[in-house]
Structure formats: C-alpha cells, structure tokens
C-alpha cells in the first residue's frame, strides 16, 4: 500500500504485549497515551457520507472524523460537536494516540488498505460491509489483523439471524446434504440489483471543488469524474464495489456461512445465470447464483430482478429429514422437540465486549477470518457473473486451479503508489 505510518511508542508497546501474551492482549487504549474520559472506547470515523454518518457519535466518543468531501466532513464535525477534529486525509488520523478504534464506512475499495494501516498503528477496526473488495485483499487483511493482534469486526446486520440455524445444522437432525435458498422471501431488502446497476458511457464532468477525487479513487483506476461514480451510486461500478450484491450480499450471506458451520471454508463450484457479456465498468443484472461445497451442501441465491423466479416458496434450509422456514419453524413439527436435546451454540458477543475482553471468536458481527470468508462468496459470485461460466474454487489454497482469467479478477492490480 502507500506510505506506511511511523511506528509509534503506542504501536511498539502493542506489539510487545501481543508477542508476550497472545491470548490476553489488552485494549489499545491501555497501551500508553491519553485515556478517554469515563473509560469510553474512542473512535475515529473515516468516510462520513451516507453510511458514515451513522458511525459518527457525539464527542468525546468520536474524537475525529475524516472525509475527502468537504461537505461531508463539515456535516460530520457538526454532528459530533465538541472538540472533534476534522481531517481530509485518513493517514493523519492514525498519527493520534488517543483513538482506540477506527470505523471505516468508506466505499469498499478503501476498506482493506485503511484497515491494514489501522492495524499497523495498533488500532482496533470496525469496517463497513463488504469487508473486502477482492479476494486478494481479504487474504492480506487476515494476515495483517492477526499479525498486529488487533480486534476486527465487519458491520453486517449480525449473526443472530443464523443462530438457530447453527444449532439446527450442528445437531444433524436434518441429515445431509443440505440445501440453502436465499431470495427475497428471506432477504427483506433483496439484493438491490437494479437499484445499484452502473451506467455505461458516462459523460465526463468537472470535479466539484469540495471533493478530492484523486484521493477518493485511491487504489482504483483513474476514470473521468461523473457524480454517479461517487457518493452512494459508486456501488454500480466494478472498480469500487459489486453492485447490489456488494451492498447487501454480506448482510445475508454471513449468517448463512455461520449457520452452516462454514466460517473456515467456502464453495468449490460457482455458476451464475446472468446477462453476458457484462459491461467491463458498470455492474449489471443477474438472476441466480448457484454454489456447491465439497460436502455436497448447496447455496442458491436468486435476485428476482432478472430471469424467472425459480425458488419462490421454497424453504430457507432443507435436508433429507426436514425443512426449515426461518424463525423456529420446522417440518415435520417433531424436529423442534428433538432439537431441544442438543446444546445451544456459544452466546454471541457485541463489539464493545469484544474490544474489552479481546475474545473475538463468537461476535455478533464476523471477525476478520469469518468476514473474509463470507465476503469471498460475494467475490466468487461476481467473478462467475463477469466470466459468464462455471468457476472452480479451492477454499484451502484460495485460488482457482488452472484458471488464470478467474485468478486475475481475484487479485486485480492497484493504482500506484497504493499496494497491499
């Protein structure tokens, strides 16, 4: 990536403590430097547009806000109030010693670079979804978070919706193989495919004075400015996101990965029904994505925004011995009574509890490995959509065996000087 922050006394102490006590790493705010009033977990919010404003709380919990758009930055500073500091360049935020956590609600193409730099600076990281923009980014993110011993979570809607499924699958009462369906019956928002489709052949327009467009682009390729490329509608362009699937997909997929007990793996085959060829710049429509795991488990995602509806009325999860419709509805009815004989999964912990205890295996939101795996499903789906053919994935090596075209999409180059 670009120029890395200097190693501060805070980071040096953090590394030393992590090396000496790998399983009892103390919160970063205890590693030296000013301590927050009332023992607050302090934060800086980098990216204060639509989603970002939801992360901005009042001063002194929010000590710093940062955005490349002056209008967004001014609005965030006003919301936080007090002595909140406002920055136009996120790298300056990491020079401070009084910030415990870095919130990253930027566009997805910035999530990982900022998260890695924050980890290097000894800060815990709370990232918006999708956690990553590419598979290569996810692998680098896992390495960095684990190397520097910080806490990381991705802000999905939470794993609580997969909690009952986790117990159901772990019990084995449904039998195998299992079939999962994700469609608007089970995703209240759908995947927003039409809403976040890109526009081909945008006419270049002048960059507004309030926006540092070069820093907004960062590692993304240089494309002429158009307002549809930034601020919300950026989701419709491959350089920054993956359309509606990137916007909503990890919300829906992460609880399924958790419910299936597949936080450490992924599918081996992925195929999509979608218009082809896809536009090289603007994300477009897709109908259905089929995924198959090595154990025979299948996951079908259907957008209902292109092609025929083929999964309407089907259960969320089914096996040879029964069906699960969401909530606690099971068929046959006797399965619910049988399930009571089995233990509940570990209780899910919230973000602040995780920061305090440094125990991050069973969070309400996914940790770095879990988030990387569930985001990888989004990227696999996108690659299948863009290539217009079935792809084969090795979830152990995290590569496409013998498929150079797919591997290139998994690890696209970054614009200099930014790199992983």
Give domain status of residue 420, yes or no.
Answer: no
Answer whether residue 242 shows pLDDT above 50.
yes
Residues 387 and 271 in one domain: yes
Residues 53 and 21 in one domain: yes
Q: What is the rounded distance in angstroms from the CA atom of residue 77 to the CA atom of residue 107?
A: 20
Of the two residues 236 and 24, the one the predictor is more confident about is: 236
Give domain status of residue 416, yes or no.
Answer: no
Give domain status of residue 357, yes or no.
Answer: yes
Answer whether residue 79 shows pLDDT above 80.
yes
Residues 206 and 135 in one domain: no
When pLDDT is averaged across residues 260-272 and rounded to a whole number, the result is 98
Give domain status of residue 2, yes or no.
Answer: no
Domain, as residue range, for 139: 9-150
Q: What is the rounded distance in angstroms from the CA atom of residue 86 to the CA atom of residue 66?
A: 6
DSSP category for residue 317: E
Q: Place 38 in a pLDDT band, splitting at 50, 70 and 90.
A: low
Of the two residues 17 and 373, the one the predictor is more confident about is: 373
Answer whether residue 13 shows pLDDT above 80.
no
Residues 190 and 143 in one domain: no
When pLDDT is averaged across residues 237-251 and rounded to a whole number, the result is 98
Residues 241 and 336 in one domain: yes
Give domain status of residue 415, yes or no.
Answer: no
pLDDT in tens, 390-404: 999 999 999 999 999
| Per-residue model confidence (pLDDT) at position 188 | 85
Question: Shortest CA distance to 126 belongs to which of 364, 415, 326?
Answer: 364
When pLDDT is averaged across residues 211-234 and rounded to a whole number, the result is 98
Single residue among 150, 168, 189 that ends a domain in this structure:
150
Give domain status of residue 4, yes or no.
Answer: no
The pTM of the whole model exceeds 0.85: yes
When pLDDT is averaged across residues 141-164 and rounded to a whole number, the result is 97
| Per-residue model confidence (pLDDT) at position 21 | 25
Residues 90 and 179 in one domain: no
| Per-residue model confidence (pLDDT) at position 27 | 37
Answer whether residue 8 shows pLDDT above 50.
no
Q: Place 18 in a pLDDT band, splitting at 50, 70 and 90.
A: very low
Give domain status of residue 321, yes or no.
Answer: yes
Answer whether residue 409 shows pLDDT above 50.
yes
Residues 180 and 145 in one domain: no
Residues 125 and 208 in one domain: no
Give domain status of residue 155, yes or no.
Answer: no
Q: Is 149 left (phi over 0), alpha (psi -120 to 50) or beta?
A: left
Residues 250 and 295 in one domain: yes
Answer whether residue 284 shows pLDDT above 50.
yes
Single residue among 150, 177, 194 that ends a domain in this structure:
150
Check which CATH number belongs to the domain holding 296 and give it.
3.30.360.10
Percent of the chain surpassing pLDDT 90: 90
Q: Is 209 left (phi over 0), alpha (psi -120 to 50) or beta?
A: alpha
When pLDDT is averaged across residues 19-36 and rounded to a whole number, the result is 33
Single residue among 128, 150, 172 that ends a domain in this structure:
150
Q: How many helices (H) and strands (E) does the chain have?
A: 12, 14
Answer whether residue 383 shows pLDDT above 60.
yes
DSSP category for residue 321: T
Tell me the CA distances in angstroms from 43 to 46, 154, 410, one per residue in order: 10, 15, 32
Residues 87 and 224 in one domain: no
Answer whether residue 26 shows pLDDT above 80.
no
| Per-residue model confidence (pLDDT) at position 145 | 98
Number of domains into which the chain is organized: 2
Check which CATH number belongs to the domain holding 56 and give it.
3.40.50.720
Residues 191 and 237 in one domain: yes
Residues 354 and 218 in one domain: yes
Q: What is the rounded distance in angstroms from the CA atom of residue 173 to the CA atom of residue 175?
A: 6
Answer whether residue 139 shows pLDDT above 70.
yes
Over the chain, what is the mean pLDDT? 92
Q: Place 37 in a pLDDT band, splitting at 50, 70 and 90.
A: very low
Answer whether residue 94 shows pLDDT above 60.
yes
Strand partners, 300: 181, 290
When pLDDT is averaged across residues 184-197 and rounded to a whole number, the result is 95
Answer whether residue 337 shows pLDDT above 80.
yes
When pLDDT is averaged across residues 28-51 and rounded to a whole number, the result is 70
DSSP category for residue 125: E
| Per-residue model confidence (pLDDT) at position 39 | 82
């Amino acid at each position: 990536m670009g120029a890395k922050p200097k190693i501060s006394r805070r980071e040096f102490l953090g590394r030393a403590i992590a090396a000496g006590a790998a399983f009892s790493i103390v919160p970063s705010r205890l590693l030296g430097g000013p301590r927050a009033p009332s023992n607050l977990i302090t934060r800086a919010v980098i990216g204060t547009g639509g989603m970002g404003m939801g992360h901005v709380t009042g001063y002194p919990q929010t000590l710093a806000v940062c955005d490349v758009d002056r209008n967004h930055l001014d609005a965030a500073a006003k919301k936080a109030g007090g002595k909140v500091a406002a920055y136009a360049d996120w790298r300056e935020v990491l020079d401070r010693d009084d910030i415990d956590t870095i919130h990253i609600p930027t566009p997805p193409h910035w999530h990982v670079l900022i998260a890695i730099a924050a980890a290097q600076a000894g800060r815990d990281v709370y990232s918006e979804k999708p956690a990553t923009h590419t598979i290569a980014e996810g692998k680098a993110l896992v390495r960095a978070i684990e190397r520097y011993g910080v806490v990381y979570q991705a802000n999905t809607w939470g794993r609580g919706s997969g909690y009952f499924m986790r117990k159901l699958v772990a019990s084995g009462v449904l039998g195998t193989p299992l079939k999962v369906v994700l469609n608007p019956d089970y995703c209240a928002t759908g995947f927003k495919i039409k809403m976040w489709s890109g526009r081909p052949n945008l006419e270049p327009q002048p960059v507004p004075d309030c926006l540092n467009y070069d820093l907004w682009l960062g590692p993304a390729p240089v494309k002429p400015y158009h307002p549809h490329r930034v601020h919300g509608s950026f989701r419709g362009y491959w350089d920054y996101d993956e359309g509606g699937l990137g916007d909503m997909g990890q919300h829906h997929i992460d609880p399924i990965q958790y419910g299936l007990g597949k936080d450490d793996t992924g599918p081996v085959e992925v195929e999509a029904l979608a218009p082809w060829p896809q536009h090289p710049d603007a994300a477009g429509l897709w109908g259905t994505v089929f995924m198959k795991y090595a154990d025979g488990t299948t996951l079908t995602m259907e957008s209902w925004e292109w092609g025929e509806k083929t999964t309407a009325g089907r259960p969320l999860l089914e096996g040879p011995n029964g069906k699960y419709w969401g909530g606690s509805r099971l068929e046959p009815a006797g399965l619910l009574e049988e399930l009571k004989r089995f233990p509940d999964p570990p209780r899910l912990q919230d973000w602040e509890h995780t920061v305090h205890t440094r125990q991050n295996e069973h969070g309400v939101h996914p940790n770095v490995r879990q988030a990387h795996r569930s985001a990888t499903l989004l990227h696999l789906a996108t690659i299948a959509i863009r290539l217009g053919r079935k792809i084969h994935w090795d979830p152990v090596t995290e590569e496409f065996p013998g498929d150079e075209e797919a591997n290139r999409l998994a690890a696209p180059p970054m614009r200099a000087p930014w790199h992983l």
